[in-house]
């Protein structure tokens, strides 16, 4: 080598991490990174290598970005290059934050193409998910031009946990053998503890994190200095001053007050408490119940920055349990979940586009619309065998069955056998709707008292009062009623129903009675209230009757004189005499009004035909 090369190796700065929800801790992480950069400038190193997790999140805040840019700008002013890779915490689908810093001239992203620092070639591999490690492609690495380099050294930067370190994901020895060139050292990140070992002839080292990310990281924080010369490669460690993490163990003993023992243990560390992150661990006698808030308040009053209280007695009271931890492939887990959802072709297309890392988020809508349009174009909707199958989960099937059951119950409540209703004369039959049939059928006959409403008893026709069989006139009226009621009544057909009912009234009024006058009792024909109720529904019957009293005169009908007189002593006879006088009968226009009200009430809703139980009005 022409000269000695010194490279500062750091990793896992986790900038932007607000540990314990403390803004002071967020600033502590930036302060530690700033110390590393200042040391690099003071030592005038040839380059700074960051082995991943520059940021703690893939979406750092604008404040975090600005502070990072300000710190890295000092390296640019000092003419010291920064080389980095993408860690698992900050990894995005496509463009990385490191690419942004590279566009600003503050950093350079390492890859399979070497970055030269003197006679040293530096390569990089971004964080690789565990499931994709066996599929990693070792080809594509470019060899440096050694014609102009003497004794070129090669470094590889990665963000992985490799064997033989704990929680290893990648076999380091196997990786070294598969690389197309010999590597002098592998500079790693992701493991927050300082480590240095030799795998074959290759050095493998972790610098550790620049700040503590948990209470278990008790060792001092540090970074590495890699020195390459003709004598070989040397790795040295430099520690970083960070905020003090103070553990205080307390063992409670029976017979004394618990709080006094705890506060006494805290008072033994009064000099270390100010500005420290304190971890108070309580063990021993489990007879007393403690208030964590009271203990934390005492620590804050003594100057602790962050108080953390942990009661180990709770854990000791439970029997030891064996926890089995298994790691599964996330891609397989997603595939199984998609399979369980039973998506159709359109759903699979949407899922594929959303999870495709090569499709930018801004183009998801456009790509989805294009793919679905192509799917619709190839579908032959005229094919008689075409059908759209929508998979339904078991939960939805149960909900649908419950909804159908509720509908059946309501139908059974609405469509039930007719009860006794008031209808004039001896016309003893009712209509019933059975099951889901639209056919109106006559059921068993029941006796019905005559209508006592004087307003509607004015229109009456004479029929047999003693015979149990209905008169021909009554049969005609019944057929007219059935013809009107057999059609579904809705807002759109309310006028036709009204006309049908009006024709029945006119026919019944104009037809003379065929029975002898000597037979008593009168039977009114199909009254006006029936076709009003058919168009409005049973729930509005009383409203229509009340409105009919105050309606102005709309239509006058002159009834002809009846040929046969009613027998004396009957109320129907006196009413017939009044009709013989030629007095006009007022017919209220409640049908049209009811139809209009129905249209207003059902505005914005589909016209659903409603079936009425005609027996309630006969």
Which positions are annotated as active-site residues?
Answer: 89
Which pairs with CB-CB distance under 8 Å and at least 24 residues apart come from 468-474? 468/426, 468/428, 470/425, 470/426, 470/427, 470/428, 470/429, 471/427, 471/514, 471/515, 471/523, 472/514, 473/508, 473/511, 473/513, 473/514, 473/523, 473/525, 474/425, 474/427, 474/523
Rounded CA-CA distance 464/518 in Å is 9
Which pairs with CB-CB distance under 8 Å and at least 24 residues apart come from 600-603? 602/491
Question: Which segments of 31-70 are extended strands (E)?
Answer: 47-50
Residue 200's Cα: distance from chain center in Å?
A: 52
Question: Which segments of 294-397 are extended strands (E)?
Answer: 306-311
Q: Which residue(s) pair with 277 in the sheet?
A: 245, 306
Provide the CB-side half-sphere exposure for 476 (13 A, CA): 20
Rounded CA-CA distance 128/486 in Å is 73
- Max intra-chain CA distance, the chain: 141
* Token pair 């893939």 in the structure block, residue: 58
Strands 153-159 and 120-125: parallel
H/E element, 242: none
């Amino acid at each position: 080598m022409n000269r000695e090369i010194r490279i500062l190796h750091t990793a896992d700065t986790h900038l932007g991490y607000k540990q314990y929800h403390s803004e002071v801790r967020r600033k502590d992480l930036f302060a530690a990174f700033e110390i590393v950069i200042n040391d690099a400038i003071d030592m005038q190193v040839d380059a700074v290598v960051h082995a991943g997790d520059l940021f703690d999140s893939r979406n750092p805040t604008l404040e975090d970005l600005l502070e990072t840019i300000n710190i890295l700008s000092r390296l640019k002013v000092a003419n010291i290059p920064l080389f980095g890779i993408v860690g698992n915490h900050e990894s995005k689908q496509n463009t990385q934050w490191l690419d942004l810093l590279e566009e600003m001239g503050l950093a350079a992203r390492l890859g399979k193409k070497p970055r030269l620092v003197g006679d040293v070639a530096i390569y990089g591999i971004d964080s690789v998910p565990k499931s994709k490690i066996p599929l990693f492609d070792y080809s594509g690495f470019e060899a440096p031009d050694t014609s102009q380099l003497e004794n070129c050294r090669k470094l590889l930067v990665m963000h992985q946990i490799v064997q033989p370190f704990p929680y290893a994901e990648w076999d380091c020895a196997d990786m070294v053998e598969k690389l197309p060139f010999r590597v002098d050292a592998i500079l790693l990140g992701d493991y927050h503890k300082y480590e240095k070992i030799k795998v074959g002839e290759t050095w493998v080292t972790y610098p550790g994190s620049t700040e503590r990310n948990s209470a278990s990281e008790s060792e001092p924080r540090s970074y590495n200095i890699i020195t390459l010369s003709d004598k070989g490669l040397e790795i040295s460690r430099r520690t970083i001053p960070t905020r003090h993490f103070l553990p205080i163990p307390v063992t409670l003993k029976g017979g004394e007050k618990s709080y006094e023992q705890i506060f006494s243990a805290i008072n033994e560390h009064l000099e270390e408490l100010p500005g420290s992150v304190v971890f108070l661990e309580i063990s021993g006698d489990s007879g007393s119940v403690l208030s964590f808030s009271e203990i934390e308040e005492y620590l804050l009053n003594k100057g602790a920055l962050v108080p953390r209280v942990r009661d180990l007695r709770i854990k000791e009271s439970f029997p030891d349990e064996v926890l089995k931890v298994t790691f599964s492939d996330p891609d397989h887990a997603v595939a199984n979940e998609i399979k369980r959802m039973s998506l159709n072709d359109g759903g699979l297309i949407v899922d594929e586009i959303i999870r495709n890392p090569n499709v930018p988020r801004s183009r998801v809508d456009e790509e989805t619309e294009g793919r679905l349009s192509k799917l619709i174009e190839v579908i032959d909707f005229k094919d008689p065998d075409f059908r759209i199958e929508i998979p339904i989960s078991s939960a939805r099937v149960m909900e649908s069955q419950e909804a159908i059951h509720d509908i059946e119950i309501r139908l059974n409540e609405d469509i039930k056998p007719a009860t006794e209703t008031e209808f004039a004369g001896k016309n003893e039959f009712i209509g019933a709707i059975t099951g889901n049939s639209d056919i109106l059928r006559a059921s068993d006959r029941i006796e019905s008292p005559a209508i006592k409403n004087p307003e509607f008893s004015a229109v009456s026709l004479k029929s047999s009062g003693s015979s149990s069989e209905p008169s021909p006139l009554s049969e005609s009226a019944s057929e007219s009623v059935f013809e009107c009621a057999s059609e579904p009544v809705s807002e759109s057909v309310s006028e036709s129903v009204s006309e049908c009912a009006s024709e029945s009234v006119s026919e019944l009024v104009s037809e003379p009675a065929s029975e002898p006058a000597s037979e008593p009792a009168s039977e009114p024909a199909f009254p006006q209230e029936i076709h009003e109720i058919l168009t409005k529904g049973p729930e509005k019957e009383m409203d229509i009757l009340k409105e009919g009293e105050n309606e102005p005169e709309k239509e006058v009908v002159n009834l002809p004189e009846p040929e046969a007189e009613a027998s004396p002593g009957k109320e129907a006879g006196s009413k017939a005499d009044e009709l013989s006088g030629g007095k006009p009968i007022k017919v209220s226009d409640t049908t049209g009004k009811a139809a209009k009200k129905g249209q207003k009430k059902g505005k914005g809703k589909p016209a659903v035909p409603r079936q009425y139980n005609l027996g309630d009005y006969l």
